[in-house]
Amino acid sequence: MANQFTKCMKCLKNVYENTNSICCDKCDNWFHLRCSKLKLKEFKKFTKNQNLNYICYYCFNYPCPKCTKPVFDHHNGICCDCCGKWLHLKCTKLNKESYFNIHKNIWFCSFCFEFPFSSVNNDDLLDNLAIDKFVEQNTLKPDVYAIAKLVLYAGKHLGKSSIN
């Protein structure tokens, strides 16, 4: 049961014993009933049947593909413009400055590209030949090729590009 120092991972307020709250069986974080996105009827099923495993909304919908932990609203997280998955900042190779400026750019995670990002800079990726070279070397997943070409087009015509 939650103790007086446990915080709800949604609202970050204290979760006290004998309140309607639930612990995620995957991430071991506590949530108030109102923050869990459960209906009261569903909540009662979990509290009555200890054999049911409760998986929180964040573990179910937003697991970081790198560390598998959930990406909560209050975490420094970033969404890949290719696959739509959320990653923690610490699970990417972005520095804080790049992270805070990323809203101006398009960003792809390391799971969408099969090459180490440290070996590629943004100028290389603005070059059609570089993208074609990555495809020839089988370092760019085929289903990402079309998206990379669109990013290239957007980067040249809209002044946006960032792949980190």
Residue numbers of the domain that contains 136: 77-158
Q: At what angle do helices 128-136 and 142-158 cross, to 10 degrees?
A: 170
Is residue 149 included in any domain, yes or no?
yes
User: With the C-alpha atoms ordered 103, 101, 84, 32, is the resulting torsion angle positive or negative?
Assistant: negative
Q: Which CATH number goes with the domain that contains 16?
A: 3.30.40.10
**The predicted structure's pLDDT at residue 47:** 87
Q: What is the pLDDT of residues 3-14, one digit of tens each?
A: 556 899 999 999
What is the distance between the alpha carbons of residues 138 and 56, in angstroms, rounded to a whole number?
Answer: 37
Residues 91 and 54 in one domain: no
Q: Which of 36, 61, 86 lies at the terminal end of a domain, its last residue?
A: 61
Residues 20 and 52 in one domain: yes
Residues 48 and 88 in one domain: no
Mean pLDDT of the chain: 75
Amino acid at 94: L
**The predicted structure's pLDDT at residue 149:** 58
Question: Mean pLDDT over residues 155-160, rounded?
Answer: 49
Residues 35 and 105 in one domain: no
Is residue 58 over pLDDT 60?
A: yes
Q: Which of 28, 61, 94 lies at the terminal end of a domain, its last residue?
A: 61
Torsion of CA 28, 29, 34, 36, to 10 degrees: -50
* Contact status, residue 49 vs residue 25, Cβ threshold 8 Å: no
Q: Whose CA is closest to 65, among 87, 43, 93, 36?
A: 87
Q: Among 37-46, 81-90, 133-142, name the one with the lowest average pLDDT.
A: 133-142
**The predicted structure's pLDDT at residue 117:** 41
Q: How many domains does the chain have?
A: 2
Q: What is the pLDDT of residues 100-132, one digit of tens each?
A: 777 667 777 887 765 444 344 444 444 544 555
* Contact status, residue 92 vs residue 112, Cβ threshold 8 Å: no
Q: Which residues contact 122 (CB under 8 A, 6 or more apart)?
A: 161, 162, 163
Q: For residue 33, what pLDDT band results from cuts at 50, 70 and 90?
A: very high
**The predicted structure's pLDDT at residue 95:** 82
Is residue 164 included in any domain, yes or no?
no
